[in-house]
Chain A
Amino acid sequence: MNAIAFGALRDSHVTLSHGGGGKAMADLIETVFFPAFGPSSGEDQARLTADALCEPGARLALTTDSFVVTPLEFPGGDIGKLAVCGTVNDLAVGGARPLWLSAAFILEEGCEIALLQRVVASMAREAALAGVRIVTGDTKVVGRGSADGLFVTTSGVGVIPAERDLAAARIRPGDVVLVNGVLGDHGAAILAARGDLALSTDLVSDCQGLGHLMETVLAAAPGTRAARDATRGGLAAALNEMALAAGCGIEISEEALPLRPEVRGVCEILGLDPLYLANEGTLVLFVPEAEAEAALTAMRSRPEGQGAAIIGRAVAASEGGAHTARVQMVTSFGGRRIVDRLVGEQLPRIC
């Protein structure tokens, strides 16, 4: 789609005047954002009502997240899809039904308008899929070199029905850990897509919304204790966070971890551990043992959960370690190792 064909906007690239609060900014908003997200209320705030909120015991869930990624468009998604899915998922894993999003953009001078349009269209598409509306937003422009193309911040509001209470603190020893599919696709796809390591793969980011999957799982396994969206820091970070909050240990099985051969390949080449690779649509679920099979079947009934697997269980803290709650993995050999949190970022290594 050619930017010039739209409304009054005549530029092919974002300039500082698009953030100036004047006519150019209005042109940008009317040309790029309104067609995708719908028109503005004309007021400085979105005014919203939802029946779900009026039910006794229902709670409001609010979350916010900033999105930065290089490259802005990658196999399987772009920063816009990421920004919608990420926030929707943060709501969904708490048992909330996502309703509304805000979207704030920081655009670098020189950012291609066509790119921005693709990102915005992808946000609109993803929001429609997730059943949320993008109801308010903001745009700022910064000088060349002050940002990396474009940054997006989304906040999300959802409602948690009265009967739901998902929390890591509810995890009990014996609970079963499930994931909805293969691990590390996003991290590996992004590493390859950056191009500086000269790796080429057919890998696609797993970036996807998890709201519908959560609803399906919760209907089948109403006793579900807790869920997390394993993003930065990978499965290892999510499990460590949950073990700490639950005050228990977690034991996973290396053999049970679903991994694509290409992800293993990227990890072998660069000396990375797939447990720490980022995901953008990976659900980590803790359910009581009695509901594990039901949860697994429910997951596999949806496309987002086709590759679902039981990967381990919660154990008493003393089994997993005396002093702190922590995560251990039984290797394919029956050996054991601690799966700690990363110190910093995982760097490619040669030795």
Chain B
Amino acid sequence: MCLGIPGRIIAMTDPARMMAMAEVSGVRREVNIACVAEGPPEGLIGRWVLIHVGFAMSLIDEDEAARTLAALHELGEAQEALEQMAEADREMAR
């Protein structure tokens, strides 16, 4: 369940009602920021959030994202090296 998509806060539209403009791949939609507002709402501009049914539900932790990606990248590289070794072995056997 629960379609959630990453979007970036690009402007405040109605700070009193905790409303801001978010952008997802060039598509803009007004979203509620109550769940992610930590300090002054303006501080959110430029931040990435996870959007569900018109609400920014979570701030995306860019460091964590980078960590996961780095681990994936490392795995990918290791796998590629493995595949190249296996390929080389096959060449040798021929």
Q: Do chains A and B stick together as partners?
A: yes
Least CB distance from B46 to A in Å reads 18
Residue A11 CB within 8 A of the other chain: no
User: In the complex, which range does the number of interface residues on chain A fall in?
Assistant: 10 to 19
Least CB distance from B32 to A in Å reads 12
Residue contact A268 to B24, C-beta cutoff 8 Å: yes
Residue contact B29 to A200, C-beta cutoff 8 Å: yes
Residues of B within 8 A of A197 (CB): 29
Within 8 A of B (CB), among A22-38: none
Knowing A350-B52, A350-B53 are in contact, say whether A202-B26 is a contact too (CB < 8 A).
Answer: yes
Residue contact B5 to A261, C-beta cutoff 8 Å: no
Residue contact B29 to A261, C-beta cutoff 8 Å: no
A114 to B51, CA, bound (A): 41
Q: Closest chain B residue to A201 by CB distance?
A: B27
Q: Closest chain B residue to A262 by CB distance?
A: B26
For B2, give its contact among A192, A262, A351 (CB under 8 Å): A351
Q: Closest chain B residue to A348 by CB distance?
A: B3
Q: Closest chain A residue to B5 by CB distance?
A: A268
Within 8 A of B (CB), among A235-270: 261-262, 264-266, 268-269
Residue A161 CB within 8 A of the other chain: no
Within 8 A of A (CB), among B11-49: 24-30
Residue contact A192 to B27, C-beta cutoff 8 Å: yes
A350 to B1, CA, bound (A): 8
Knowing A349-B3, A351-B3 are in contact, say whether A268-B30 is a contact too (CB < 8 A).
Answer: no
Residue A307 CB within 8 A of the other chain: no
Interface centre among B3, B26, B27 (most CB of A within 10 A): B27
Residue contact A266 to B27, C-beta cutoff 8 Å: yes
Q: Closest chain A residue to B2 by CB distance?
A: A351
Residue contact A198 to B27, C-beta cutoff 8 Å: no
A201 to B26, CA, bound (A): 7
A200 to B30, CA, bound (A): 9
Residues of B within 8 A of A169 (CB): none
Residue contact A261 to B26, C-beta cutoff 8 Å: yes
Number of interchain pairs (Cβ within 8 Å):
44
Interface centre among B24, B52, B54 (most CB of A within 10 A): B24
A19 to B26, CA, bound (A): 45
Residue A222 CB within 8 A of the other chain: no
Residues of B within 8 A of A198 (CB): 29-30, 54
For A350, give its contact among B2, B28, B30 (CB under 8 Å): B2
A351 to B3, CA, bound (A): 5
Residues of B within 8 A of A262 (CB): 25-27
Residue contact B3 to A350, C-beta cutoff 8 Å: yes
Q: Closest chain B residue to A260 by CB distance?
A: B26
Residues of A within 8 A of B52 (CB): 350
Residue contact B3 to A271, C-beta cutoff 8 Å: yes
A200 to B29, CA, bound (A): 6
Q: Closest chain A residue to B1 by CB distance?
A: A351
Residue contact A201 to B28, C-beta cutoff 8 Å: yes
Residues of A within 8 A of B25 (CB): 261-262, 264-265, 268
Residue A199 CB within 8 A of the other chain: yes
For B27, give its contact among A199, A349, A350 (CB under 8 Å): A199
Over the window 63-85 of chain B, the binary record of Cβ atoms lying under 8 Å from chain A Cβ atoms (1 yes, 0 no) is: 00000000000000000000000
Residues of B within 8 A of A266 (CB): 27
Known contacts A262-B25, A268-B5, then 17 further A-B pairs from the complex at CB < 8 Å, ordered by chain A residue: A198-B30, A199-B29, A200-B27, A202-B26, A262-B26, A262-B27, A264-B25, A265-B24, A268-B24, A268-B25, A269-B29, A349-B3, A350-B2, A350-B3, A350-B53, A351-B1, A351-B2
Sample of 20 A–B contacts (CB below 8 Å):
A192-B27, A197-B29, A198-B29, A198-B54, A200-B27, A200-B29, A201-B27, A261-B26, A262-B25, A262-B26, A264-B25, A265-B24, A266-B27, A268-B3, A269-B51, A271-B3, A350-B3, A350-B52, A350-B53, A351-B3
What residues make up the interface of B, taking CB atoms closer than 8 Å to A?
1-3, 5, 24-30, 51-54
A-B pairs, 9 with minimum CB distance:
A265-B25, A265-B27, A351-B1, A262-B26, A261-B25, A265-B24, A200-B28, A268-B5, A271-B3
